[in-house]
Amino acid sequence: MQYLEEFLLPSARAEDDFILSDHPLMLMTCYSDRVYPFKIFPDMGLRRITFSPITVFYGGNGSGKSTLLNLIARKCSLRRAAPYNETPFFDVFLERCDAKFCGILPKESRIITSDDVFDDLLDLRSVNRGIDHRREELFLEYQKLKKEHFVLQSLEDLEELRQHNLAKRTTKSDFTNRSLQQNLRTHSNGETAFSLFTGAIEKPALYLLDEPENSLSAPLQQKLADFLSDAVRFSSCQLIIATHSPFFLALEGAKIYDLDARPVTVKDWTELENVRLWQSFFEAHRNRF
The per-residue pLDDT for range 188-198, each reduced to its tens digit, is 667 888 988 99
Greater confidence (91 vs 171) lies with 91
Q: Is the pLDDT of residue 69 over 90?
A: yes
Cβ contacts of residue 100 below 8 Å, gap of 6+? 4, 5, 6, 7, 8
Burial of 148 (0-12, 13-18, 19+ CB in 10 A): exposed
**Is residue 234 assigned to a domain?**
yes
Residue 157 scores a pLDDT above 80: no
User: What pLDDT is stored for residue 215 in this prediction?
Assistant: 83
Residue 70 CA, chain-centre distance (Å), reads 12
Using a pLDDT cut of 90, give the percent of the chain over it. 59
Beta bridge partners of 19: none
pTM of the model as a whole:
0.78
pLDDT for residue 141? 75
Q: What is the number of structural domains in the chain?
A: 1
Nearest to residue 212, comparing CAs of 227, 194, 230? Answer: 194
Residue 161 domain-assigned (yes or no): no
Q: Chain-centre distance of CA 72, in angstroms?
A: 15
The CA distance from 54 to 262, in Å, is 22
- Does residue 30 fall inside a structural domain? yes
Mean pLDDT, to the nearest integer, of 57-64?
93
DSSP 249-262: HT-TT-EEEETTSS
Closest CA to 65 of 216, 245, 243: 243
Q: Compute the radius of gyration of the chain from its Cα atoms.
A: 26
- Domain assignment of residue 175, yes or no: no
Residue span of the structural domain in which 82 resides: 4-116+201-288
Q: Where residue 260 sits, what CATH number does that domain have? A: 3.40.50
pLDDT at 82: 67
Q: What is the pLDDT of residues 13-59, one digit of tens each?
A: 999 999 888 888 887 665 445 788 999 999 999 999 999 999 999 99
Q: Is 167 among the domain residues?
A: no
3-state SS class at 67:
helix
Tell me how far CA of residue 234 lies from CA of 2, 86, 157, 248, 257, in angstroms.
Answer: 13, 35, 54, 18, 25
* pLDDT at residue 175 tops 80: no
Residue 1 pLDDT > 80, yes or no?
Answer: yes
| Torsion angle defined by CA atoms of residues 277, 282, 284 and 288, in that order, rounded to the nearest 10 degrees | 160
Q: Is residue 44 in a domain?
A: yes
Tell whether 100 is covered by a domain. Answer: yes
Q: Does pLDDT of 228 surpass 90?
A: yes
Residue 80: per-residue pLDDT:
84
Pairing state of beta strands 238-242 and 206-210?
parallel
Pick the more confident residue, 115 or 252: 252
Asked whether residue 232 is domain-assigned, the answer is: yes
What is the phi/psi pair of residue 98, to 5°? -145, 150
pLDDT value at 186 more than 60: no
Confidence of residue 266 (pLDDT cuts 50, 70, 90): very high
Of 12-16, 47-51, 167-171, 183-187, the range with the lowest mean pLDDT is 183-187
pLDDT-based confidence at 74, cuts 50/70/90? very high
